[in-house]
Amino acid sequence: MRSGPARKWRTPLAVGGVLVMLSGVVGAPTVSAAEGTPTPSPGATVQGESSSTPAGPALGASASESLLRLYDVVKLTAGYIAATQLQPGGGSVTPGGDTGWKPRAPIKTPPVSPVPPTAPVRDPTKYDILGEAYRKASDSLSDRCHLPFALLMAIGEVESSSLRGRKLDPGHNAVPPILGPRLSGGGFAAIGDSDGGRLDGDPVWDRAVGPMQFIPGTWRLWGADGNGDGVADPQNVEDAALAAGRYLCAGGRDLSRRQDLEAAILSYNHSRRYLATVLDLYDSVMSGLVAGP
């Protein structure tokens, strides 16, 4: 078939209650989601952030090929929106809203133990490793969204008590693995299994996993390889910190602005009580009132 000039198209599409505009030029479609929602490229594997990759075979080779490609765009968009509407914090908000969320463990100010340059050499503690993971993630995203390491510290404390009661193995993976409650309804959101139990060991219901408590469906989109070993593992502190940072930076947020900072926290868990708890910890760390362990 002789190919003609590229044809522009723009089609409104309601996916999961969100109006999405499918727009672009036939042969290289893009998805432009609602404002504040990052936009994955059709056919791309999203790992931690929306990426810009070639769109694959050109649309327009045949009518059926065009429809199949458009269907792929719709599937990707629907999956993206569904996953980002889940709370990485375990889906712990009940349908009633804020009244259902409360910390699963006592909240403490995250330990910060900076080592002075003249301090004697010692083996790093669990908190040294955890703090370094947060700082590394913060540094890698500082140009993009001004991610403060204290925000990761605060969320890590709320989600997994900064690993209290657990150890880190030589690869910096949580031991034992951190698994949230089964999301089977009742006091939690009802989220059926989305990964065959691969990440959470449960083939029936999803469970939030790792130090930053990602739901498997959300991890599939945002999971990151923070330690460079070629594997994105939600139980690894470097991977989890970078994935959480990318999630918090989504939608072009500037986390040096209080409004964007609060929006990022609410995107992690849609609860005003959760927001207040994280902000209290964040402000404590940023104010310099934190003592070492």
- For every residue of 75-89, DSSP letters joined together read HHHHHHHHHHTS-TT
Q: What is the pLDDT of residue 70?
A: 53
- Mean pLDDT check: name the lowest of 64-68, 212-216, 262-266, 273-277: 64-68
Identify which has the larger pLDDT, 199 or 120. Answer: 199
Tokens encoding 243: 């994935």
Q: What is the pLDDT of residue 148?
A: 95
- Between the CA of residue 178 and those of 132, 162, 201, 271, what are the distances in Å? 20, 11, 11, 22
Point out the least confidently predicted range of 15-19, 22-26, 30-34, 138-142.
30-34
Instruction: Provide the strand spans (E) within 172-222.
Output: 174-175, 179-182, 207-209
Predicted local distance difference test score (pLDDT) of residue 89: 59
What mean pLDDT do residues 149-156 have?
95
Q: Which of 102-106, 148-152, 229-233, 240-244 has the least mean pLDDT? A: 102-106
Q: Indicate whether 66 pLDDT > 80.
A: no
- Token pair of 41 as six digits: 């490229």
Q: What angle do CA 74, 190, 202 make, to 5 degrees?
A: 95
Its pTM stands at: 0.67
Across the chain, what does the average pLDDT equal? 74
How would you classify the pairing of strands 8-15 and 18-25? antiparallel
Q: What is the structure's pLDDT at 65?
A: 54
CB 247 within 8 A of CB 267: yes
Report pLDDT for 26. Answer: 36
State the pLDDT at residue 60.
43
Q: Average pLDDT in the 287-292 region?
A: 56
Pick 24 or 148 by higher pLDDT: 148
Is the per-residue pLDDT at 10 higher than 60? no
Per DSSP, 131 falls in state: H
Confidence of residue 224 (pLDDT cuts 50, 70, 90): very high
Residue 2 in this model has a pLDDT that exceeds 60:
no
> 49 pLDDT exceeds 50?
no
Q: Is residue 285 pLDDT above 90, yes or no?
A: no
pLDDT digits (tens, 9 = 90+) for 250-262: 999 999 999 999 9
